[in-house]
Amino acid sequence: MRDSYEIVIGLEVHVELKTKTKIFCSCPTDFGGEPNSRCCPVCMGLPGALPVLNRQAMIYAARAGLALGCHVSTRSGQDRKNYFYPDLPKAYQISQFDRPLCRDGSLCIDCDGEKKTVGITRIHMEEDAGKLIHDEKRGTMIDYNRCGIPLIEIVSEPDLRSSREARAYLQKLRSVILYTGVSDCRMNEGSFRADVNLSVRKRGETSFGVRTEIKNLNSFAFVAKAIDYEAERQIALLEAGEPVLRETRRFDPATGKTFGMRVKESAEDYRFFPDPDLPDVRLSEEEIAAIADGLPELPDAKSLRFAKEYGLSEYDGGVLSADRALAEYFDAAARQTAYPKVLANLIMNELLGLCEEESFRSPIAVEHMASLSRLLGEGRINGATAKKLLRSMWERDEDPVRLAEEGNLWQIHDGEILRSLLASAILANPRLAEDYRRGKKHAAKALIGQVMAQTGGRANPAMLTELAEKALSEEEK
C-alpha cells in the first residue's frame, strides 16, 4: 500500500548572511542583545524612512549562489511582498519576486551511498522580520533586533524522495554554505531554517499531488520526522478517498505529528510589485567573476582531490571535506606525512570524537598530527599508543616524538623479548595453556592481554598475537 506511493519533497531553506550590518540600514547584525536595541527608523519602518541595499549582502548572496552552481543575474529585482503581521514593521517584506539574483543551480548529495543531484530552482535575497515572544503575564512582545537581517532563500526543485534524502541535502547544503563563509548556519540561533513542501502521488504518475508546507522546523532530525509523519498522513487520507488540503502546517516535536494551523479563508495575496524605493540590483559580469574566483575549493572538489592525491576512499574523502576547517587541517597535515591514510584514520576515528563543538577545531598543531601519523605509519608506535598520545596532545599540545621518548612508548617488535614474556606468562598461568588445549581459544586473548599489559601496551599486537598462538600451540605438544 505505502510502497505504491512516491513522496515528493522540496525544501526552502532560509540562511542568515553574516554581514556586519543589516540589509537596508547600518544597524549591527549581532545575535542576541537587549530587545529593540539594534533598531533604527529604517528597519523599524518608521514614517519617512527609506531602505538602501547593503552591497555586501548582495555579494554574499552571489557567492552562495555561485557555490551552488547557480547562474547569477547581472540585474535582478527588489519587490514588496505585502501582508500584515506584528513582526513586520512596514507591513511588507522587501524580497525578490519574479527576478531573483540566482537561478538554476544544483547540489550533489550522497544518501547512504547513493548519489543524487538535487536541482536548486532559485536563490533570492530578502529581509528578516522581528521576533514574537510570548510572555504569560505581559502578552505577546515583539523584538525587532532581527528585523532587516539579510537572508537568502534557497529553493530546491521537488527532487527529494525521502526524509533521508532531505537530511542529506540539508547537511550538504549547510556544509557548502559554511565553506563560502557567508553564514554561520546555526539552526539553534535561527541562521539556518528549513521549510518542507511535501506531496505524495502514485508511483508512475507524473503530475504532482496537493502539497502542504511545514514550517518552523528547528533541527534536521525534526525535518526528517515531520516528513515521515506528513507523508504517512497524506497517504492515509488518499487511501481513505479524502483529499489533501493545501495548507501550512506546524510540527510538534513532543508528539511527532504535524498539525494544521488556523484555517485561512483564502490564500494570501501578497500583491507583489517592484519596490519604488529601490533600483534593480546590479552586478557586473566582472564583479560576478571576481566573486567566483574568490570561492574556496568546495567540498566535492576537495573530496575528489583527497581521494586522488592521498589515496583515500570516497567515503573518507567525503567525511574529511564536510567541514572546511577540518578539511584544511587534514590537508595541511597530509602534506607533511608519507602516511596520509593513517592520518585520515587517526583524525576520523580518534580526533573527531574529541571535538565537541559544532564546527571543527583542534588544539593539536598540524605538524604534531603529521608527526604522530608518521610514528604510527612507520610502526614505531602501535595503535593503542597512538590513541593514548593523541588524547594527551588534545589536553596539552606537544611533539609526539618527545612524548613517546619520555614515556618510553616505542613499540616492541623484538620477537625474543615477546617470546620470553609469553613463556613466563604461560608458566605463571598453567590453566591458560590447558584451556587453549581444550579448544578454548579465548585463552589466547587473556594471555595476549596479560603480556600486552606487562609491556605497558607497547607490544606489536599482530606479532604478539602470532607468537602467543604459536606458544600456546607448542605447549600442546
Task: Verify binding: residue 45, another protein, rule CB under 8 A.
Answer: yes
Q: Of the candidates 32, 113, 276, 353, which one interacts with another protein according to CB under 8 A?
A: 276
- x-marked contacts with another protein along 243-272 as a string, rule CB under 8 A: --------------------------x-x-
Q: Of the candidates 108, 237, 238, 278, which one interacts with another protein according to CB under 8 A?
A: 278
Residues 6+ apart with CB under 8 A from 147: 22, 39, 43, 44, 87, 89, 127, 128, 129, 130
Residue closer to another protein, measured from CB, 114 or 277: 277
Residue closer to another protein, measured from CB, 276 or 353: 276
Beta strands in 83-186 (DSSP E): 92-95, 102-111, 114-127, 131-135, 139-143, 150-156
Residue closer to another protein, measured from CB, 47 or 353: 47
Count CA atoms closer than 13 A to 100's CA, side-chain side. Answer: 22
Task: Verify binding: residue 51, another protein, rule CB under 8 A.
Answer: yes
Residue closer to another protein, measured from CB, 75 or 470: 75
Looking at 1-9, 277-285, 423-431, 457-465, which segment touches another protein (CB under 8 A)?
277-285
Looking at 11-19, 198-206, 274-282, 457-465, which segment touches another protein (CB under 8 A)?
274-282
Max CA distance (Å), the chain: 101
Least gap, CB of 48 to another protein (angstroms) = 4
Least gap, CB of 88 to another protein (angstroms) = 9
Least gap, CB of 28 to another protein (angstroms) = 18
User: 432, exposed or middle or buried, with CB in 10 Å at 0-12, 13-18, 19+?
Assistant: buried
**CA 256, 229, 175: angle at the middle one, nearest 5?**
85
Q: Of the candidates 20, 52, 208, 476, which one interacts with another protein according to CB under 8 A?
A: 52
Task: Verify binding: residue 449, another protein, rule CB under 8 A.
Answer: no
Residue closer to another protein, measured from CB, 277 or 378: 277
Which of the residues 123 through 182 are near another protein (CB under 8 A)?
142
Q: Of the candidates 243, 256, 260, 279, which one interacts with another protein according to CB under 8 A?
A: 279
d(CA 79, CA 22): 17
Amino acid letter, residue 325: A
Residue closer to another protein, measured from CB, 142 or 325: 142
Residue closer to another protein, measured from CB, 272 or 410: 272
d(CA 54, CA 438): 80
Least gap, CB of 248 to another protein (angstroms) = 17
Cell of 153: 532563500
- Give the binding-site size for another protein (rule: CB under 8 A): 28
Least gap, CB of 121 to another protein (angstroms) = 21
Q: What is the DSSP string of 445-465?
A: HHHHHHHHHHTTT-B-HHHHH
Task: Verify binding: residue 237, another protein, rule CB under 8 A.
Answer: no
Least gap, CB of 280 to another protein (angstroms) = 11
Task: Verify binding: residue 277, another protein, rule CB under 8 A.
Answer: yes
- x-marked contacts with another protein along 67-106 as a string, rule CB under 8 A: -------------x-x-xxx--xxxx--------------
Place of cell 560576478: 288
Residues 6+ apart with CB under 8 A from 325: 359, 360, 361
| 3-class secondary structure, 255 | coil
Provide the edge-to-edge strand list for the sheet that holds 273-274: 92-95, 79-82, 273-274
296 touches 285 (CB < 8 A): no
d(CA 276, CA 92): 13
Least gap, CB of 38 to another protein (angstroms) = 15
Looking at 42-50, 149-157, 367-375, 403-411, which segment touches another protein (CB under 8 A)?
42-50
Task: Verify binding: residue 325, another protein, rule CB under 8 A.
Answer: no
- Buried b / exposed e over 171-193, threshold 16 CB at 10 Å, is ebbbbbbbbbbbbbbebeeebbb
Residue 201 phi, psi dihedral angles, 5° rounding: -155, 160
Residue ranges binding another protein (CB under 8 A): 41, 44-53, 80, 82, 84-86, 89-92, 142, 269, 271, 273, 276-279
